[in-house]
Amino acid sequence: GGAMAEGEGLVSVDYEVFGKVQGVFFRKYTQGEAKRLGLVGWVQNTSHGTVQGQIQGPTARVRELQEWLRKTGSPQSRISRAEFRNEKTIPVLEHKDFQILK
């Protein structure tokens, strides 16, 4: 019962996206996609030209955003690869919404 689909827990995963991902509205599009999927977390540019952050939410939705980060991104971006680490199940969401961090 509850709001979750049967057998679907919450996961948290860190990500980093490599390629031409800065100066192409990547963070804004990532935030939009995360909100559309009902996910929480954050996204920010790094000093070495990548975009990184954390995603939290129902496993299936997190998988959808991972796929989006791997293949789609913002219209002008060119993603070379996306890396995911520190995946773990969590009892409750640790963020209220999905934020762009400066």
Sheet holding 51-58, edge to edge: 78-90, 10-20, 51-58, 40-45, 98-100
Report how many domains make up the chain.
1
What confidence score (pLDDT) does residue 25 get? Answer: 98
86 is catalytic: no
pTM for the full model? 0.91
Q: What is the CATH number of the domain that holds 64?
A: 3.30.70.100
Residue segments in the chain with a per-residue pLDDT below the cut of 70: 1-8
In a domain, 82, yes or no: yes
What confidence score (pLDDT) does residue 39 get? Answer: 98
27 is catalytic: yes
Query: What range defines the domain where residue 16 resides?
Result: 10-100
Q: Residues 27, 36, 61, 78: which is the catalytic one?
A: 27
What confidence score (pLDDT) does residue 1 get? Answer: 39
In a domain, 2, yes or no: no
CA distance 69 to 17: 7
